[in-house]
């Protein structure tokens, strides 16, 4: 019984250590986060200018799908 409990304790300790190591390894660098924010700001300006014909086509497709689903 003590051997089993000891193995479980050892396994959980290694698991917790592994989670902490992966968290440190995957931590995002501040410079990378700033460059991503700048790229997102540039892309949102272009996303706001949608083609009205595209919006109309999507709206029509959604209306047809909803009418068939009833």
For the segment 36-56, what is each residue's pLDDT rounded down to a tens digit? Answer: 666 655 555 555 678 899 999
- Predicted TM-score of the model (pTM): 0.40
CA distance 50 to 47: 7
Question: Over 80: is that where the pLDDT of 11 sits?
Answer: yes
Q: Take residue 62 and report the two structure tokens written for it.
A: 């959604």
Give residue 33's pLDDT. 59
More confident residue, 68 or 37: 68
- Alpha-helical runs (H) found in the chain: 2-25, 30-47, 52-69
Q: What is the DSSP letter of 29?
A: P
């Amino acid at each position: 019984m003590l051997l089993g409990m000891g193995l479980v304790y050892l396994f959980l300790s290694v698991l917790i250590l592994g989670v902490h190591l992966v968290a440190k390894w995957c931590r995002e660098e501040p410079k990378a986060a700033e460059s991503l924010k700048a790229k997102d700001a540039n892309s949102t300006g272009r996303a706001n200018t949608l083609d009205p014909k595209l919006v109309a086509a999507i709206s029509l497709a959604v209306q047809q799908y909803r009418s068939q689903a009833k």
